[in-house]
Amino acid sequence: MSELNSSFKPPPNQFLPIIGRFVAVYRLWHGYLDHISKKSRYTLGAKIDSYFLEALENMFIASYLPKEQKLPCLQKATTKLDLLKFFLQISWEIKAIDTKKYIALSGELNEIGRMLGGWQRGIVSKENSAKRGGE
């Protein structure tokens, strides 16, 4: 247990901007979920909801990890985000959600994907700089 506590450090006083933005998009999705037909709400809707939560969980955990441990968690978040976008597109294609809702969600998720990619590139860049400096 002490190993776990020693590897976690709190993020800045507020959530990282990417986490705040993702929570806002999740709230938007959560409002749409009740308007999906029962036929899709408990299958595809539940799947999308779980990917939202898993991606958010991985980003949140990464915000607490030391720099050298963040990348695997962020890669998992990216995978969950990609799956989320894939299933969201399917829900739009089968008309479980309308075009306006799909555009609102997918636009925000694409921006979050760019932010997540930037976070990962920043970590890789810092690791590469540290390796070059240590040679």
Please answer whether residues 21 and 40 qualify as being in contact, where contact means their C-beta atoms are separated by less than 8 angstroms: no
Provide CB contacts within 8 A for 112, sequence distance 6+.
18, 21, 22, 25, 81
pLDDT surpasses 90 at 13: no
Residue, of 129 and 46, whose pLDDT is higher: 46
> Mean pLDDT throughout 58-84?
96
Q: How many domains does the chain have?
A: 1
Residue 34 phi, psi dihedral angles, 5° rounding: -65, -20
- pTM value is 0.84
Q: Which domain CATH number covers 116?
A: 1.20.1440.60
Rounded CA-CA distance 58/80 in Å is 9
Range of the domain at 57: 17-129
Within a domain: 94? yes
Q: Which residues of 41-52 are buried (b: 16+ CB within 10 A; e: fewer)?
A: eeebbebbbebb
Within a domain: 12? no
pLDDT surpasses 60 at 80: yes
